[in-house]
Amino acid sequence: MKGSEIRQRFLDYFESKGHKVVHSSPLLPANDPTLLFVNAGMNQFKDVFLGNEKRDYSRAASSQKCIRAGGKHNDLDEVGKTARHHTFFEMLGNFSFGDYFKKEAITFAWDFLVNELGLDESRLWFTVFEGDDEVPADEEAEELWIAAGAKPERVLRFGKKDNFWQMGDTGPCGPCSEIHYYMGDDPGDPEKNRADLVNAEYGDENIEIWNLVFMQFDRSEDGKGGFTLANLPAPSVDTGMGLERVSAVMQGVRSNYETDLIRPIIDRVAAISEQGTGSGEQANVGEGLVPAQTDIYDSFDDEKKFACRVIADHARATAFAIADGILPGNEGRNYVLRKIMRRAIYHGRDHLGLTDPFFNEVCDFVIGEMNEAFPELEVQRGFIRKMVLLEEERFGNTLTEGSKRYEEKLGKVSSENAELFTESAKLFDTFGYPRDLIRVRLESQGLKFPEEEFDEKFDNALGKLQEQSSIGKTQQAERINPIYAKLLEEAGSGKFLGYESIFVEDARVRALVKGDDVVDSLEEGDEGLIVLDRTPFYAESGGQVGDRGKLFNHSVHVNVLDAFAPIQGVTVHKSKIKSGSVKAGDFVTASVDAEKRDATRRNHTATHLVHAALKEVLGTHVKQAGSVVAPNYLRFDFTHYQPMSEFEVREVEDLVNRYILENEPVATDVMAIEEAMRSGAVAMFGEKYGSEVRVLSVGDGTFSKELCGGTHVRATGDIGSFKITADEAIASGVRRIRAITGLDAFRRFREDELLIDRSLGVLKTQRDQLPVAIEKLYEDLKKTRKEVEDLKLKIATGNAGGSANGDEAKEISGVKVLAKMVDDLDPSGMRHLSDTLMAKVRSGVVIIGRKGDGKVSFIVRVSDDLTDRVKAGNIIREIAPIVGGRGGGKPDMAEGGGSEPDKLSEAIDASYGVIERMLE
C-alpha cells in the first residue's frame, strides 16, 4: 500500500467517525514564538487545547507537515544513520477537544490498524502508564486495549519517561499510550518479538508507530515548592502516527528510507551522482525512475548510501520549508534551514563528487513526488528551485572563503591549543564551513581526534559561541495572563461591530482591569483595561494596528489608547479615564477616531493591492512575510531573492495606482475556509484562521482575493494615491516595502516638488536638465576633492622630502625609521603617503600617525627584507594602547587607532624605542 493511500485512508476513516479533516498548517508556526518549526500535529490546535480558542468542531484529523531540527526536538544529527530519523516527516493525527476520551481513542486506533490496514495482532504491542507517587497507573487504558482485542500479555506498563505527556512544568498533562510494531521476519520468534525489547534503546525491530495522548490533568504550583494535579473539566485527546513509519510497516521494509515516500528521491540522487553533475537533464518529475536507475544506489558503498539518504531527507525539508515561506538565513529557523541545505550540498560534493549545483534538481523531484497531496509545492516550484540554486552558489563561495579562513587560523596548527576548537566553531558558525571537513583537514595536519571526542569539544565551543547570539533559539513562551482566560469564561465573547459602524451606543462594560487585578471601577486619572459586550474598536491583528477613540456617558469620559485581543473573543480597550469614573455594568457610547480609522483602511486595502502587484511584476513566488498597517504608513514584507530594480518599483506603483483610479469595488464575503481556498483566495503564512473566514476581493477578485479580517475601503478610489518610499532587504530572501497613501502621499509629492524647485533655483537650470546639472556638479566636486587630496599628499611628502636621506629618519641598529605626524589626510591618502615614503626609504620602517575628529589613526610599513626582524603588527600593538586604542595586521603592513589624540606625539616618539627593542 502506497504512502499516499495510507494517508488518504487515515483521513477518510476518521472523517467517517465524525472528525473534521483539517489541512496541514504551514511549517511556519502561527503566533507561537516557542517553536522554530511546526513539529507535531497538535501545534495548530494548541490554543484550542488550552481553551484560548474555540472552533465549530470538537473532533479533527490531519496529516501534518513537520520538521524536527533545532531547538528541543532536533533529529538532524541522526538523519541517514538510523532507519527512522528525519528532519521532515508527516504526522497523521486524530484529535478530540473535550469530546471523546480514552475509550473511543483506543477503539479507533485498534479498528484502524487491525481492520482497516490489516496489521497482524501478534506483531502489535501496547504500552500504558505504570503510575507513580503523583499519578496512579492508567488501568483504564490497559483494560480498554484488552477489551478492544489485545492479549493481556501484549499490554505493557512503563514510567513517565515513555508514557506520560506534559506541555510544561505546569498546565495540561496526562498519561499516553503507545502502539509498537515488531518488524522482524517471524512474529512467532520468542527471542525477538518479546516484551523487554519494547522501548529498548537498541535495535530497529520493535518500533513505535502511534502515540495516544490523554490530556486528563491540569498541573499547578501548590505555593510550597511543589505541584498539585486536578482533573480537567473537559479531557482531550491528541494522537500522532508517523506516516513514514506506518508506510514501512505496510510495505514490508525495515527502513523508512526504503518506502515509496523516500526511496524514489534517493534513487534520483544516485542517478545524478552517476551522471557526475547536477546540471544534467532533469528527470521526468513525478513519474518516478526507470527500473535500471534503482540499481545504482544498491551498488554504492555505505558512505555513498548515507550521503544519498541525507540528501533525500534534506531535500524534502527544504522544498516544504521554502514553499511555506521559510528561507535560508542567519538566525533562528532560517539559520536551521540553511544548515540543513548546506549539509545536503556538502554531502553531495564530498561523498558523491557533485561539484556542480545539483540540490535544486533533487528538490524539484520532491515537488513532483508530493504535489498531489500538497499543491502549494507546485505553486512555488519555480521559486523553490531558484532559492535552492542561489544557496548552492552561495555555499560554493562559502567553501572558498572558509578555506582561506582555515588557512589563516588553523592551516599551520600542529598541536591542540586553547583556540583550536573556538576557531573551528567560528569557521562553522560564521562561514558555514562543514565540521566534517574541519576534522578531516586537522587530521591531515597530524591532529587526530576520535569522532566522539572531536564532536564533544566542538559542540562545547559552539555552544559558548551561540550563547552570545539568537541563532537556533526560540523565544520563551509568553504566558497569557490568566485574567483574560477568566474574563472569557465569566463574561463570554464580545461582539465586534466595527465592520458596519465606528459608533456604538449602549455598550455594556463587562469587566475592568487595573494592573493584574479585575476591579469594580476605574477613577479619574486611572489607566486600565476595559472589556465591552459590543465594540466598534478593531483589535490589533493581521498587521493592522488597534483603533483609538473614546468611551463616554453622562458621568465619564475615557480616552481609548489602543485595542487588542489577548485571546480569541476578548477585545480589550487600553484606556485612560479623562474625567469621572466607570463601573462594571455601566453603559457607554463607544466612538472610534474616524480620521485614523479611514487612514488605516486606506493603507490596509493598499497592502492587498501591493501584494497582488508584486506577484504580477516579480512572479508568483512572492509571499507576504509580515506587515504593519498604521494610519500614517504601511509596511509590507515579502519573499524575493534580489533587490527590485527602479523599473520594477515603478511598475508596482503604476499598477496599484491604476487600480485606485479605476475605483474598483472592494467586497467582503464570509464563507467556510475550504470554500475560500477553493475560490483561489490567498492565505497569509503565520496567521490562524477559524472554520469561517472573511474573503476580501478587489473588483471581480481576479487581481486580488485574500483572507482578511481587517477593515477596508469600500472602493479602491477611496485610497486616493499610493507612493513607495523605500525598498530594502531585511533578511536573506526577504524584502520590505514602505509606502504611504491618501493625503500622506499627496504631501510627499508636494514636498518633492518643493525640493526640486529649490534645487532648480540653486543650480540655475531647467527641470529637464536637473539630473545633468547635479551630475556635473558632482563630477566637479569629485575632481576638486582629488586635487585637494593630491595637494595635501604633495605637501606631506614634501615635508618628509629629505627624510629618506636622513634629515628626519633615524637610524636604529642600522635600520632607517621614519615616524611622523600628518594632518588633513583621509585613510586613502595615508596609504598613498606610506607607499611614497616606503619607496624613498627602500629598506626600513615607516610610521604615520594622524589625528582628527577626536580620534587617532596609524599606519605602519616594514620593508620586505626586515619582516623577519621587525613586524608591523607588533609595532601597532605596542603604540596603539598609548592613545587608548588597538590595532594589528601583517608583518609588512598594519593599521590601528585610538581615542586620545593628545597622546599622538607620545606614541610616535615611543615607536623608536619599540623598534629598538625588537632589533636587540
Cα–Cα dist 128/179, whole Å: 9
Q: Which pLDDT tens digit goes with each residue over 379-429?
A: 889 889 989 998 898 888 877 777 788 888 887 777 777 678 888 888 877
Q: How confident is the model at residue 113 (pLDDT cuts 50, 70, 90)?
A: very high
The listed range with the strongest mean pLDDT (271-280, 547-556, 889-898) is 547-556
Dihedral Cα 714, 718, 721, 723, nearest 10 deg:
-40
Lowest mean pLDDT among 85-89, 325-329, 635-639: 325-329
- Rounded mean pLDDT, 361-377: 92
How many Å is the Cα radius of gyration of the chain? 34
Q: Which pLDDT tens digit goes with each residue over 353-368?
A: 898 899 999 999 999 9
pLDDT surpassing 50 at residue 827:
yes
- Rounded mean pLDDT, 830-845: 88
pLDDT surpassing 60 at residue 637:
yes
- Rounded mean pLDDT, 233-250: 92
Q: Which pLDDT tens digit goes with each residue over 863-876?
A: 999 999 999 999 99
C-alpha distances out from residue 250 to 2, 181, 863, Å: 8, 11, 75
Residue 181, H or E segment = strand 171-182
Distance of CA 734 to the CA centre of its chain: 11
- Rounded mean pLDDT, 73-94: 83
Q: How confident is the model at residue 531 (pLDDT cuts 50, 70, 90)?
A: very high
Residue with cell 465592520: 499
pLDDT surpassing 70 at residue 805:
no
Distance of CA 917 to the CA centre of its chain: 54
Q: Which pLDDT tens digit goes with each residue over 259-292?
A: 999 999 999 999 998 876 444 444 443 334 433 3
Between 478 and 759, the more confident residue is 759
Cα–Cα dist 202/823, whole Å: 74
The per-residue pLDDT of the chain, averaged, comes to 86
pLDDT surpassing 50 at residue 81:
yes
Give residue 566's pLDDT: 84
Give residue 341's pLDDT: 92
DSSP secondary structure, 242-287, as one string: EHHHHHHHHHT-SSGGGSTTTHHHHHHHHHHHHHT-SSSPPP-TTS
The fraction of the chain above a pLDDT of 70, given in percent, is: 91
Give residue 465's pLDDT: 72
Cα–Cα dist 720/657, whole Å: 8
Give residue 734's pLDDT: 86
Cα–Cα dist 391/329, whole Å: 10
pLDDT surpassing 90 at residue 583:
yes
Which of 609, 601, 620 shows the shortest CA–CA distance to 653? 609
- Rounded mean pLDDT, 108-134: 93
pLDDT surpassing 80 at residue 595:
yes
What amino acid occupies position 553?
Answer: N
pLDDT surpassing 80 at residue 476:
no
pLDDT surpassing 60 at residue 109:
yes
- Rounded mean pLDDT, 225-249: 88
Q: How confident is the model at residue 237 (pLDDT cuts 50, 70, 90)?
A: very high
Cell of 532: 465591552
Give residue 411's pLDDT: 78
Q: How many CB atoms lie within 10 A of CB 712?
A: 26
Residue with cell 495572563: 481
C-alpha distances out from residue 708 to 28, 697, 713, 720, 789, Å: 18, 10, 13, 21, 59
- Rounded mean pLDDT, 885-910: 91
pLDDT surpassing 60 at residue 586:
yes
Cα–Cα dist 899/880, whole Å: 10
Cα–Cα dist 845/819, whole Å: 8
Give residue 217's pLDDT: 85
- Rounded mean pLDDT, 684-704: 81
What amino acid occupies position 790?
Answer: D
Q: What count of residues does the chain have?
A: 920
Give residue 104's pLDDT: 96
With a CB cutoff of 8 Å and minimum separation 6, the contacts of 347 are 306, 307, 310, 311
C-alpha distances out from residue 584 to 510, 520, 831, Å: 6, 6, 75
Q: How confident is the model at residue 145 (pLDDT cuts 50, 70, 90)?
A: very high
With a CB cutoff of 8 Å and minimum separation 6, the contacts of 378 are 367, 371
Q: How confident is the model at residue 54 (pLDDT cuts 50, 70, 90)?
A: confident
Give residue 280's pLDDT: 41
Give residue 253's pLDDT: 93
pLDDT surpassing 60 at residue 797:
yes
Between 220 and 588, the more confident residue is 588
Q: How confident is the model at residue 467 (pLDDT cuts 50, 70, 90)?
A: low
Lowest mean pLDDT among 3-17, 366-380, 406-420: 406-420
Residue with cell 483504564: 140
- How many Cα atoms occupy the beta-carbon half-sphere of 764 within 13 Å? 0
Give residue 433's pLDDT: 76
User: Does the model's pTM come out above 0.95?
Assistant: no
